[in-house]
Amino acid sequence: MQIYKEGKAAINYSDGTFLNPKMSLLRDISVLFLKSLNAKGASLLDSTAATGIRGIRYGLEAGIERITFIDINKDACMKIRSNIKRNRIKAKVMDQSIQEFAASETGPFDIIDLDPFGSPVPHVHDLLKISNSETMMMVTATDTAVLCGAHYSACIKIYAARPMHNELCKESGIRILLGFIAREAAQFNFGIDVRLSISDLHYMRVFVTLKRGAAQAVDSIKHLGFLASCRACHGFETYGGMVPEVVKRCPNCGAARELAGPMWLGGLHDRELLTKMLHEKGPYDDAKRYIESIRNEPEDMFFYSIPALTRSMGIGSVSPKIVVERLREKGFEASLTQFEKEAVKTSAPLPDVARAVRILKK
């Protein structure tokens, strides 16, 4: 028997039950998130539980008392039962698929964790059946190659969206995922409030609150749109709406632009909640560092990859950190971004970023 310790949990994970220690940061962030919501009295469904590590940590560390675990795999459910006993958690465990569970159970759950292999798409519709207004959905996607455009047709097939396969791919990928959730939720007359969006390693994770109402659903859909990006000069532009009048040639350099979407063009985080997360007590230093860095990002959509920009300008590399400082001196908001190494997210338009880069080179 192998015991893995993470947070306050001790988890038996032998005999091939899935457990990825590399996801510990993401689990820490989820625990911190639930702690900051003060969600003790909430009902929680760990819908792809594997060893049960998430639900168990939410119980032990965020104080959630009403937890249901499900997993399609019977061996996983045996592990969950032994792990909840080991960690003294009282919970319901059902060896059922999400689809069977949602057909027989009425819910609704206040919090739903979905952390499947690959894409969450086959499961979101069923989980919406056991949701209510204010349900918090925490959704992981590990099919980032699809969302980032390495498998173009797969993204069209699974997400009904055209991906962007360049330096903007991670932000456009997470926005395609959110766009998909917004469209699915709208079918049930739910709007979505995006509270937190994380892109790290090979996974993306989004935290959204559902808001019941036809008007809320329509309002969410109004946040959908497209991204036009130029490979020649690295300028980009977003267009709201499902059939926007997109200028196909780049207004900056005249090259043909690529289009991606539909995707979510609304906000990616609830800044007040991020601040609350930073004030939570406990041994979550790495998670807090991550949250602090995304709280410092400007709310502007997309960013400039400095190596891509300097290459297109035919000049040598400059430090993105110094570009950030220079743009701030000029009165713009600017920071590095979780979506791409050596990139700058800023309120400055492309000509100002290019000017800052050129001056630094001189």
Residues near Zn ion (CB under 5 A): 230, 232-233, 235, 250, 252-253, 255
- Among the listed residues 9, 70, 80, 136, the single contact to ligand SAM using CB under 6 A: 70
- Among the listed residues 10, 72, 78, 360, the single contact to ligand SAM using CB under 6 A: 72
Contacts to ligand SAM from residues 111-150, by CB under 6 A: 115-117
The alpha carbon torsion through 320, 322, 323, 326 (nearest 10 deg) reads: 170
Of 48-56, 104-112, 199-207, 305-313, the segment contacting ligand SAM by CB under 6 A is 48-56
Query: Radius of gyration over alpha carbons of the chain, in Å?
Result: 21
- Among the listed residues 54, 195, 257, 288, the single contact to ligand SAM using CB under 6 A: 54
Q: Which is nearer to Zn ion, 179 or 235 (CB)?
A: 235
For residue 4, state whether it binds ligand SAM (rule: CB under 6 A). no
Q: Which residues contact 73 (CB under 8 A, 6 or more apart)?
A: 17, 50, 95
Of 18-26, 60-68, 173-181, 242-250, the segment contacting ligand SAM by CB under 6 A is 18-26
> What interhelical angle do 24-37 and 271-279 show, nearest 10?
100
Closest approach, Cβ 116 to ligand SAM, in A, equals 5
Q: Which is nearer to Zn ion, 119 or 252 (CB)?
A: 252
8 Å CB contact between 320 and 342: yes
Residue 230's binding partner among Zn ion, ligand SAM, none (Cβ under 5 to 8 angstroms by kind) is: Zn ion
Q: Which is nearer to ligand SAM, 18 or 239 (CB)?
A: 18
- Among the listed residues 8, 43, 65, 73, the single contact to ligand SAM using CB under 6 A: 73
* Pure H helices in the chain: 24-37, 53-62, 74-86, 98-104, 121-129, 144-147, 152-159, 169-187, 214-221, 271-279, 285-295, 306-313, 320-329, 350-361
Residue count, binding to ligand SAM (CB under 6 A): 20
Q: Is 284 exposed, middle or buried (0-12, 13-18, 19+ CB in 10 A)?
A: buried
Residue 161's binding partner among Zn ion, ligand SAM, none (Cβ under 5 to 8 angstroms by kind) is: none
Closest approach, Cβ 118 to ligand SAM, in A, equals 9
Strand 236-240, strand 224-229: pairing: antiparallel
8 Å CB contact between 204 and 140: yes
Q: Which residues contact 332 (CB under 8 A, 6 or more apart)?
A: 346, 347, 348, 352
Q: Which residues bind ligand SAM (CB under 6 A)?
A: 18-19, 23, 48-51, 53-54, 70-73, 76, 97-99, 115-117
